């Protein structure tokens, strides 16, 4: 699978909506926890990410991501 970049990377995002992107590539620079919240600040969920690990996080366009010790990039799947 390949990724299509939809914007610039954001280091240590805090309540970032990533211009409405619905898929975020998260790369942990140190062990961290990603928190996904609705636009109304209701926590949807949390996930621990080990140092050096990366994940792809699906979110709604208005959901917010907070993830210290990480670099996050809005992407889309490209087949």
List the chain domain ranges.
Answer: 2-78
Q: What angle do CA 31, 59, 29 make, to 5 degrees?
A: 20
- Measured CA to CA in angstroms, residue 61 lies from 2, 37, 58 at distances of 21, 11, 10
Model's pTM, two decimal places?
A: 0.93
Is residue 21 within 8 A of residue 62, CB to CB? The reply is no
- Digitized pLDDT (tens) for each residue of the chain, 79 residues in all: 788 999 999 999 999 999 999 999 999 999 999 999 999 999 999 999 999 999 999 999 999 999 999 999 999 977 6
Number of alpha helices (DSSP H) and beta strands (DSSP E) in the chain: 0, 8
């Amino acid at each position: 699978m390949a990724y299509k970049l939809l914007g610039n990377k954001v280091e240590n995002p805090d309540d970032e909506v990533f211009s409405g992107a619905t898929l975020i590539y998260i790369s942990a620079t140190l062990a961290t926890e990603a928190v996904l919240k609705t636009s109304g600040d209701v926590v949807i969920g949390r996930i621990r990410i080990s140092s050096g690990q990366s994940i792809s996080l699906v979110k709604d366009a208005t959901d917010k991501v907070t993830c210290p010790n990480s670099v996050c990039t809005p992407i889309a799947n490209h087949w």
